[in-house]
């Protein structure tokens, strides 16, 4: 069993799910950039606005009943290279979904990378809200990127507190000695680091870890992965009735198709995905062969296919 990745290698863990041919490019870019890649939340506003979600609790109830959090990161990469990046932390309906997953250092790696889930108490949620408030992240300012190097990583945090949504953007690291006063970029970084280390920060408020069972899976079908020296890609039957030519919608490069799978199709596809690796070729009813990239969609996360 591998140790949990530290915050300093979080982006590298995300990159392991990308195309193998792009691994060097992605690893070389994780220290510098501008916002791109993964689907994000709506643009930040200058003042709190009602959440668009209907599942948050009504105003006036406990913070837990109306609380939602999702933290994710973007980078200036072609979208398919960051397709498999999981949000490091999501909290919805009293459950914390941990997307920082140790990936086996083998090739070809597994196609399925599944997050874990655990309960979080009202006290844990109250600590997150108190920290965000004392850090000046719930005031009028929403964008905390003062200066960022080309190629750098952008952190995004969507917080919904008692039906009010705060969409925050900032860097994920700062130079040593940067001022961390309330409402600064350094304050955002400190909060980000606490969230991505939440099991250490709020461990006593968290329940037992269990595998997360997704309701939705984002699937990217691409031209077949190339065989490498000494490794012959295995083939398996595409379990869905829809052939690749009409699967989902075009995505990124020519011949890529993207769709979000749920319900009965998810029940058919997920067991097959869990037995596959990054070189597996899926053969549809027309005899067309494609490779896949897949990623769990957490609650309220928008489709990356749009």
The pLDDT assigned to 101 comes to 87
Mean per-residue pLDDT, 152-161: 95
Which of 210, 241, 269 represents a domain boundary (last residue)? 210
Count of domains observed in the chain = 2
Mean per-residue pLDDT, 125-148: 93
> Do 136 and 235 belong to one domain?
no
Which of 210, 227, 256 represents a domain boundary (last residue)? 210
Check: pTM over 0.85? Answer yes or no: no
> Do 126 and 142 belong to one domain?
yes
Range of the domain at 274: 214-297
Cα separation, 192 vs 128, whole angstroms: 11
| DSSP annotation string for 80-105 | GGGTTPPPSEEEETTEEEE------S
> Do 140 and 44 belong to one domain?
yes
The reply to whether 303 falls in a domain is no
Instruction: Tell me the two tokens of residue 298.
Output: 């957490």
> Do 49 and 185 belong to one domain?
yes
Mean per-residue pLDDT, 146-160: 84
Interval 185-222: pLDDT, tens:
999 999 999 999 999 999 999 999 999 999 999 999 99
> Do 18 and 44 belong to one domain?
yes
> Do 292 and 226 belong to one domain?
yes
Cα angle vertex 76, ends 70, 77, to 5°?
100
User: For residue 65, what pLDDT band results from cuts at 50, 70 and 90?
Assistant: low
Mean per-residue pLDDT, 5-31: 37
Interval 37-56: pLDDT, tens:
333 333 333 333 333 333 33
> Do 83 and 186 belong to one domain?
yes
> Do 46 and 184 belong to one domain?
yes
């Amino acid at each position: 069993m591998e140790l949990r990745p530290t915050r300093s290698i979080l982006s590298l863990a995300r990159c392991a799910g990308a195309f193998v041919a792009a691994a060097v490019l992605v690893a070389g870019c994780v220290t510098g950039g501008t916002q791109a890649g993964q689907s994000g939340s709506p643009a930040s506003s200058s003042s709190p606005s009602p959440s668009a979600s209907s599942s948050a609790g009504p105003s006036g109830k406990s913070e837990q009943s109306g609380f939602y959090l999702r933290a994710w990161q973007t980078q200036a990469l072609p979208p398919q290279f960051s397709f498999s990046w999981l949000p490091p932390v999501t909290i919805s309906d009293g459950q914390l979904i941990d997307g920082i997953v140790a990936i086996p250092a083998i090739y070809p790696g597994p196609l399925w990378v599944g997050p874990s889930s655990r309960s979080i108490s009202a006290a844990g949620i109250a600590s997150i809200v108190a920290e965000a408030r004392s850090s000046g992240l719930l005031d009028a300012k929403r964008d905390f990127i003062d200066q960022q190097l080309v190629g750098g990583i952008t952190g995004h945090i969507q917080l919904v507190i008692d039906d009010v949504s705060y969409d925050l953007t900032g860097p994920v690291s700062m130079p040593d000695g940067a001022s961390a006063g309330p409402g600064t970029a350094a304050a955002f970084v400190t909060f980000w680091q606490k969230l991505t280390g939440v099991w250490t920060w709020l461990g006593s408020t968290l329940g037992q870890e269990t595998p997360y069972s997704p309701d939705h899976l984002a699937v990217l079908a691409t031209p077949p992965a190339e065989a490498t020296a000494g490794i012959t890609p295995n083939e398996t039957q595409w379990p869905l009735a829809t052939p690749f030519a009409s699967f989902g919608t075009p995505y990124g490069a020519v011949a890529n198709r993207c769709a979000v799978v749920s319900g009965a199709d998810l029940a058919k596809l997920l067991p097959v995905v869990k037995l596959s690796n990054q070189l597996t070729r899926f053969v549809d009813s027309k005899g067309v062969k494609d490779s896949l990239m897949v990623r769990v969609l957490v609650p309220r996360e928008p489709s990356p296919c749009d």
